[in-house]
Amino acid sequence: MWNFLKRHRDSRSSAQDLGPYSNYRMAIRLELTQRAGVFAQLANAMAEENASLGAMDIVSATRTKIIRDITVDVQSEEHGERVLQRLNTLPDVRVIASSDRIFLMHLGGKIRVESKFPIKTRNTLSMVYTPGVGRVVKAIANDEKQAYTFTSKSNSIAVVTDGSAILGLGNLGALAALPVMEGKAMLFQQFAGIDAWPLCLNTQDSEKIIQTVLAIAPTFGGINLEDISAPRCFEIEQRLQRELEIPVMHDDQHGTAVVILAALLNALQVVDRPIQDITVVVIGLGAAGIACCELLLGAGITRLRGCDKQGWVLHRTITELLPHRHNLRTLIQYDAPTGTIQDALTDAHVVIGLSTANILKPEDLALMAKDPIVFALANPDPEISAELAIPSCRVYASGRSDYPNQCNNLLSFPGIFRGALDVQAKSINESMLLAAAKALSKIVPESALSEEYIIPSVFDKQIVPKIAKAVAQAAIESGIARRTKKETEEEM
């Protein structure tokens, strides 16, 4: 880990903290004089402007001119403008065009609908639409279960938001949430083969959201709630779970909790501690924090301390916690902390941060028990950086892609919904979430477990099928699957 951190610091310094995945990536078409030294002049200018040159392609060339497309990572839109101005001052360089590659990727939206069959003849038209479709309509009217067989319902998810908690950007409204929900739909389709539809609702009234989702629910096999602020997200999810007989999950809560539990199970193997013997501190008791606490209790945690920025606000014995583990909010005293975060961390084995940047210091980790596990999951900046945390902990994980052990919701939600849809589950329960976490943890072979490898890459192709199989089996065993065990096994 120390060698990695050194390489990481060196690369970030040389690229002025741009990293390999800059949010400000420009594509620039340039006309250069065709003579020696011109490109070196260009590269030197980019270095002086602290811009990072990426891909370079030749578009065309003559004896006197060469046209190149270059990719440049910059620090901000303003920085990008300065880079373009600098390029225009170079005597042998002319800027033909420039564009922001991220905006180009979103141009016209990122998703579309495609038919499974081409409609090229009257015969096909009469079967997919009227009059032939009338027979299917009658079949579904006589037996509603036929909708799972003869429509897209069995493989469709609604991704529902009100735009009140978009990523880490805050309450920006329904329209601003659409690019994120389109991206979520892409992830469902490409990682799990699920057709997902972004539904950005122009209301933040909880009751109106509930009634809207109830009204559109017949179209879908499941509902994924996304980027809805706490505490409203709890009420919305719970009401929809009670009133609908399809899976409803707020991914920001339970998707996060599943990934954290999976990473923790493997981290505990690295430090050789049983889950029943550890003390866990969760900092940040919003949507994700509460769901994390509830799932940890379901997994066998016996000592749990919850904190927000004001201090220690969840301090109950395991006998008090367990009866309320599906509604921990009733036990949290946000306005009456019983101690500081430092009090909670004393002698703890694990700290899970779901709060805000830089809230922890190395001296706080020094209060913990031997070989502490630190999950600093605030985005984009963690509660404590790896550089500061590693000297004081045994295992470190974050939400960032430029450190080892990235805890990303993408590791969980495609497989969870895939498994729920495969057996036409009526809901997503705790047994299914625990099964998902255990399946995810086992994807990392025991022989390969280490401080730097406790969770697989999001691109590991084993993740979705293994989680889906475990989730489907848990749904069958808990009696909420519409499909029989035999039907499911035949397809698996």
Average pLDDT over residues 422-443: 97
Confidence band, pLDDT 50/70/90 cuts, at residue 336 = confident
Does 8 have pLDDT greater than 60? no
Q: In what order do the strands lie in the sheet with 248-250?
A: 195-200, 156-161, 222-225, 248-250
- Of the two residues 435 and 404, the one the predictor is more confident about is 435
Does 154 have pLDDT greater than 50? yes
Does 4 have pLDDT greater than 80? no
> What is the per-residue pLDDT for 125?
94
Does 191 have pLDDT greater than 70? yes
Least confident residue range of 181-195, 256-270, 389-403, 467-481: 389-403
> What is the per-residue pLDDT for 466?
97
Confidence band, pLDDT 50/70/90 cuts, at residue 9 = very low
Confidence band, pLDDT 50/70/90 cuts, at residue 442 = very high
Average pLDDT over residues 364-375: 96
Confidence band, pLDDT 50/70/90 cuts, at residue 71 = confident
Least confident residue range of 25-34, 230-239, 425-434: 25-34
> What length does the chain have?
492
> What is the per-residue pLDDT for 487?
63
23-106 adopts what CATH topology?
Alpha-Beta Plaits (3.30.70)
Confidence band, pLDDT 50/70/90 cuts, at residue 20 = very low
d(CA 60, CA 457): 39
> What is the per-residue pLDDT for 488?
56
Does 375 have pLDDT greater than 60? yes
Q: Whole-prediction pTM value? A: 0.85
> What is the per-residue pLDDT for 210?
98
- HEC readout, the chain: CHHHHHHHHHHHHHCCCCCCCCCCEEEEEEEEECCCCHHHHHHHHHHHCCCEEEEEEEEEECCCEEEEEEEEECCCHHHHHHHHHHHHHCCCEEEEEEEEHHHHHHCCCCCCCCCCCCCCCHHHHHHHCCCCHHHHHHHHHHCHHHHHHHCHHHHEEEEEECCCCECCCECCCHHHHHHHHHHHHHHHHHHHCCEEEEEECCCCCHHHHHHHHHHHHHHCCEEEECCCCCCHHHHHHHHHHHHCCCCEEEHHHHHHHHHHHHHHHHHHHHHCCCHHHCEEEEECCCHHHHHHHHHHHHHCCCEEEEEECCEEEECCCHHHHHHHCCCHHHHCCCCCCCECHHHHHCCCCEEEECCCCCCCCHHHHCCCCCCCEEEECCCCCCCCCHHHHHHHCCEEEECCCCCCCECCHHHCHHHHHHHHHHCCECCCCHHHHHHHHHHHHHCCCHHHCECCECCCCCCCCCHHHHHHHHHHHHHHHCCCECCCHHHHHHHC
Per the DSSP assignment, residues forming a β-bridge with 157 are 196, 222
Does 39 have pLDDT greater than 50? yes
Domain boundaries, given as residue ranges, for the chain:
23-106, 122-246, 252-492
Contact present, 389 and 375 (Cβ < 8 Å): no
> What is the per-residue pLDDT for 484?
66
Per the DSSP assignment, residues forming a β-bridge with 282 are 306, 352
Does 337 have pLDDT greater than 80? yes
Average pLDDT over residues 290-311: 93
Can 122-246 and 252-492 be said to share one CATH topology?
A: yes
Confidence band, pLDDT 50/70/90 cuts, at residue 18 = very low
Contact present, 309 and 334 (Cβ < 8 Å): no
Does 479 have pLDDT greater than 50? yes
Average pLDDT over residues 54-79: 87
Radius of gyration of the chain (CA): 26
d(CA 430, CA 433): 5
CA distances from 227 to 8, 118, 174 (A): 31, 36, 10
Average pLDDT over residues 55-59: 84
Question: pLDDT per residue over 200-242, tens digit each?
Answer: 999 999 999 999 999 999 999 999 999 999 899 999 999 999 9
Percent of the chain with pLDDT over 70: 94
> What is the per-residue pLDDT for 486?
59
> What is the per-residue pLDDT for 335?
83
Confidence band, pLDDT 50/70/90 cuts, at residue 451 = very high
> Mean pLDDT score of the chain, rounded to an integer?
90
Average pLDDT over residues 379-401: 91
Find, among 282, 246, 237, the residue nearest to 264 by Cα: 282
CATH superfamily of 122-246: Malic enzyme, N-terminal domain (3.40.50.10380)
> What is the per-residue pLDDT for 485?
55
Find, among 188, 109, 229, 113, the residue nearest to 409 by Cα: 188
Does 350 have pLDDT greater than 80? yes
The residues annotated as belonging to the active site are 129, 184
Report the range out of 68-72, 432-436, 456-460 with the highest average pLDDT.
432-436
Does 17 have pLDDT greater than 60? no
> What is the per-residue pLDDT for 477?
95
252-492 adopts what CATH topology?
Rossmann fold (3.40.50)
Average pLDDT over residues 250-265: 96
Does 116 have pLDDT greater than 80? yes
